[in-house]
Structure 1
Amino acid sequence: MFFNGGLLKYCGSNRCSEKRVTAVAISNDGQYVCFADKFGVVWVVDLRELDESQASANKKAAPLLAHYCSIITSLEFSPDGQFVVSADRDFKIRVTVFPKKPLDGAHEIQSFCLGHTEFVSCLTFICTLEYPQGFLVSGSGDSTVRLWDITSGSLLDTCEVGVKAGHLVSEGSGEGHSTVTDLSTIQDSQLVAVAIQRQVSSVICALQGILILSCNISAQTLYFAKVVSIKGENFIPTSLGSSSSVGLLWMVTGVSNVPGFDYSSLSRVKVISGFNKNSADSVENEPTVLEDNDIPGGMELLKKLQGSVCVEEKVFLAAAEAVKTSMCNLLIKKQYSSEKREFRKRTRNDRKIKQ
């Protein structure tokens, strides 16, 4: 399953969205897909209908909930499947009870997790056998990672990662503002990997590593555990994910040189190993970045994931600059004067007449 602009695709079936898709989540039982659009609405698709009839592929997704015109940045289901959690650009995290009949809408709000002072960029859950419902972990543009009890919406702990990110910035970049761009829970552990981008003035600086935080479930606290350094690349982390069976952290980065190819690729996949699944709240081994040939699947897999089309160096440099500019625009919420805001309201085109 993947989404591109206003089109959601699942196993050859399409669902169109009137607005650009910004986040996707699959229910724990695999029966429903929820996706959010840029207008702040979360839609739901019943995957069982896709198997029953091909004609149902043209049906429109059903509205589930909305954030009142605020762009939704992340969607996650709680580990027990009882709640769907949505975050937006206006600092809010909403915890909604996932209904037995999602196509009829979700009308019961469990709580709001309020405390971030900038846009909420990413969500993940960390849980144990003792706490099957888990605790929510959120990242934000305010340089913090926060731990929440979603049942009550209580803020349990806050970890300031901006200071730690300063140690990863290339020399000479100066002071700046750090933004958490993605989070991933390391499987079978209480560790959370944090991807950070640092903005200095209007420039996005390349960080040279990933932060690892540890969660003490009993004490309900977050604390800094380690920095995993990644040297020698124009490292712009955009996505994180961990393997379910082995202690590997997979990363997708921005534009970067690809060893073995003539020029470069527009994306780069890196893998960090060394996470001991038996370590509950600490990093016992020293995590290391695997060489391309040591990654499961090796170079053949990387060619499929990254692509093998070579481009000219000037095209690559232009693409790299475009990625940095694009990420900078995403990290800054646009501010308009009162006159400009009223003009945009009068000339809005989101309600186009359908032919």
Structure 2
Amino acid sequence: MEDTPMEFGESNKDTEIAPALIAVHPTQESVAAAVGPDLRIFDLRQNSAVSLKDDSSVGSLHKDSIRVVRYGANGKLLVSAGDDKLVKVWSTESWHCITTVCSEKRVSAVAISNDGLYVCFADKFGVVWIVDLDRPDGQVHVGKKAVPLLSHYCSIITSLEFSPDGKFILSADRDFKIRATVFPKNPLDGAHEIQSFCLGHTEFVSCLAFLWTEEYPQGFVVSGSGDSTVRLWDILSGSLLDACEVGEKAGLLGSNGREAECYSAVTDLCSNPDGSLVAVALQRQVVSIGGGTFIPTSLQMCSSTGLLWMVTGVSNLRGSECPSLARVRVISGVNKSNSDSDTREHQELEDNEIPGGTSLLKNLQGSLSYGEEVFLAAAEALKTAMSNLLVKKQYSTEKRDFRKRTRNDKKIKQRK
């Protein structure tokens, strides 16, 4: 990614392209996709689209691009959040919004505690907030307030994950850091004990996922980054256990590490629980299944069914007749453990073979279909937007002084 610094007073609003996202229920009872402010859910038990119910006083559904959508570990909760500064918690049994929390800033990451009692979310100023759900019983909780849990120093937090044993919460940021924090017994009082820092990436950390076994209940974490690597960490010590140059393996980087076609940042990754397979999405392809023109913006693996769900698409694609678009694909056979990965039988499912079939695809993708060239253009626009958001900009001394003088928080303080 090339870094193009903004000029005085320039706004990056026009580059805020939002990727399409996908989330799958832990036992694949439903599948959710977010495209811009639209949250589309398909119930595979009823084989029908879900009608969401939101009676919160702050307004129904989302009004701006959703940046995070994920299920809780037990599948009873679904959380969506994004640029409208709203965090919405949905019951997957009634599909009612049971809690809406207003964030001070735009939301960039979300995590749900393993017991479903807490929702944590991060904003673009580097603060992680926590909400106590009291009892995740599907009843509407009114007037919930978030309190600070921890913070990174003025750095956009890109990913939040609870460890499999629930003892740690991991946070990653655009300043190359991964922080493992002990999740306290009274989290509403804040999390003050840092277990470790996992340091080694040379660009922003974009995503995290856990691998675990019975011998290591806290799990190991894998991370993806803008430096085109996937790294394996021991969170207890912060030690780097392994690293994979996925861009080079995919043929996107030369042997000297320089760009072949484009900067091949890792945009998403997921794994099956035992770590026998990690699927990685680059800005050019899905490494685990080889080449192709399908460039995923989000991945989700369902270990109970052995399916890898992928979506490509964006919203706010300016200058196009289709500002929001999405396409879903599914790969089978990802949960087959075998010491020889070459013997895995991965197969792309046809539309009628996907759970829910064409009804699911129509619901998650929308009724319109677009050509391959449109999705390629969307991928390029998303790459630029991701660079503008996560690659730290370098300013001259003059520009830095100008930005300090015109900071909004200083203006507010002066008026007071």
TM normalised by structure 1 equals 0.80
1:303 aligns with 2:382: no
SS at 1:279's partner residue? coil
The residue aligned with 1:162 is: 247
- Preserved CA contact (<8 Å) 1:34 1:42: yes
- In 2: Cα distance, 1:133 partner to 1:315 partner: 43
How large is the RMSD of aligned CA atoms in angstroms?
3.2
Matching of residue 338 in structure 1 with residue 397 in structure 2: yes
Partners of 2:159 and 2:172 within 8 A in 1: yes
Question: Which of the residues 79, 103, 106 maps onto 1:17?
Answer: 103
- TM-score scaled by structure 2? 0.69
**For 1:279-327, what per-residue CA distance to the aligned partner results, in whole angstroms no more than 9, with x for missing partners?**
3673532212111111111111111111225689999898666445424
The change in CA–CA distance for 1:295 and 1:58 in structure 2 (over 3 A counts) is same
Q: Tell me the CA shift for residue 91 of structure 1.
A: 0.7
Q: Structure 1's 280 and 236: CA in aligned 2 closer, same or farther, altered over 3 A?
A: same
Note if contact 2:121-2:128 (Cα within 8 Å) is conserved in structure 1.
yes
The AA in structure 2 aligned to 1:28 is: N
Change (3 A) 1:41 1:167: closer
Question: Helix, strand or coil for the counterpart of 2:287?
Answer: strand
What secondary structure does 1:344 align onto? helix
Structure 2 partner of 1:125: 210
Alignment of 1:292 onto 2:377: no
Matched, 1:42 2:103: no
Give the counterpart letter for 2:167 in structure 1: Q
- Opposite residue 159 of structure 2, the aligned amino acid is S
C-alpha deviation, 1:272, in angstroms: 0.8
Aligned letter for 1:300? S
Does the 8 Å contact 2:82/2:108 carry over to 1?
A: no
Alpha-carbon distance in structure 2 between the residues aligned to 1:168 and 1:294: 35
Structure 1 vs Structure 2: percent identity of aligned residues?
68
What whole-Å deviation, never above 9, does each CA across 1:202-241 have from its counterpart, x for those lacking one?
xxxxx2x4223xxxxxxxxxxxxxxx1353x4x3321111
Please give the alpha-carbon distance, in whole angstroms, between the structure 2 residues aligned to 1:189 and 1:315. Answer: 35
Tell me: CA distance 1:280–1:14, structure 2 relative to 1, closer, same or farther (3 Å). farther
Amino acid at match of 1:181: T
Deviation at 1:43, TM superposition (A): 0.2
Task: Tell which has more relative contact order, 1 or 2 (C-alpha 8 A, sep 6+).
Answer: 2
Of residues 131, 136, 144, the one that matches 2:229 is: 144
Query: Is 1:8 paired with 2:93?
Result: no
Write out per-residue CA displacement over residues 78-109 of structure 1, whole angstroms, 9 at most, x where no aligned residue: 11100000000111111100001111100101
Structure 2 residue identity aligned to 1:165: A
Secondary structure of the 1:142 match is coil
Q: Using the alignment, how far apart are the partners of 1:10 and 1:281 within structure 2?
A: 41
1:18-97 matches, within 5 Å, as: 18-48=104-134, 57-97=142-182
Q: Residue 58 of structure 1 aligns to a residue in which SS?
A: coil
Structure 2 residue 276 is matched with structure 1 residue 190: yes
Q: Which residue of 1 aligns with 2:301?
A: 242
Larger displacement relative to structure 2 (238-247 or 340-349) = 340-349
- Residue 273 of structure 1 is matched in structure 2 by 332
- The 1:314–1:272 alpha-carbon spacing in structure 2 relative to 1, beyond 3 Å, is closer
* In structure 2, distance between residues paired with 1:166 and 1:53: 51
Alignment match, 1:203 = none
- Alpha-carbon contact 1:88-1:121 (below 8 Å) kept: yes
- Distance change >3 Å, CA 193–CA 350, structure 1 → 2: farther
Unaligned runs of 5+ in 2: 1-78, 91-96, 316-321
Which secondary structure does the structure 2 equivalent of 1:151 belong to? Answer: coil
Q: State the distance in 1 between where 2:198 and 2:238 align.
A: 5
State the alpha-carbon separation in 2 of the partners of residues 304 and 175 from structure 1. 34
Amino acid at match of 1:161: V
CA shift in 2, pair 1:317/1:87, >3 Å = closer
Of 27-36 and 247-256, deviating more is: 247-256
1:265/1:310 contact within 8 Å kept: no
Distance 2:333 2:186 in 1: 42
Read off the aligned partner of 1:210 and give its amino acid letter: V
Instruction: Give per-residue Cα distances to partners, 1:37-72, cap 9 Å, x unaligned.
Output: 000000001112676985x63232010000010110
Residues 165-216 of structure 1, C-alpha deviation per residue, up to 9 Å, x if partnerless? 22699xxx9444321111101245521111111xxxxxxxxx2x4223xxxx
Q: Which segment drifts farther, 246-255 or 107-116?
A: 246-255
Aligned equivalents of 2:156, 2:405: Cα separation in 1: 20
CA shift in 2, pair 1:308/1:230, >3 Å: farther
Match of 1:204 in 2: none
Deviation at 1:153? 0.7
Equivalent-residue separation in structure 2 for 1:14 and 1:242 (angstroms): 27
Rounded to whole Å, the distance in 1 between the matches of 2:189 and 2:158 is 23
- Aligned pair count reads 318
CA, structure 1 residues 102+339, in 2 after alignment: closer, same or farther (shift >3 Å)?
A: same
Q: Which runs of 5+ in 1 are unaligned?
A: 198-206, 213-227, 257-262
The structure 1 residue matched to 2:290, chosen from 229, 233, 246, is: 229
Matched residue of 2:399: which SS? helix
Tell me which of 248, 253, 257 is aligned to 2:312. 253
- Tell me if the contact between 2:86 and 2:101 (Cα under 8 Å) persists in the aligned partners: yes
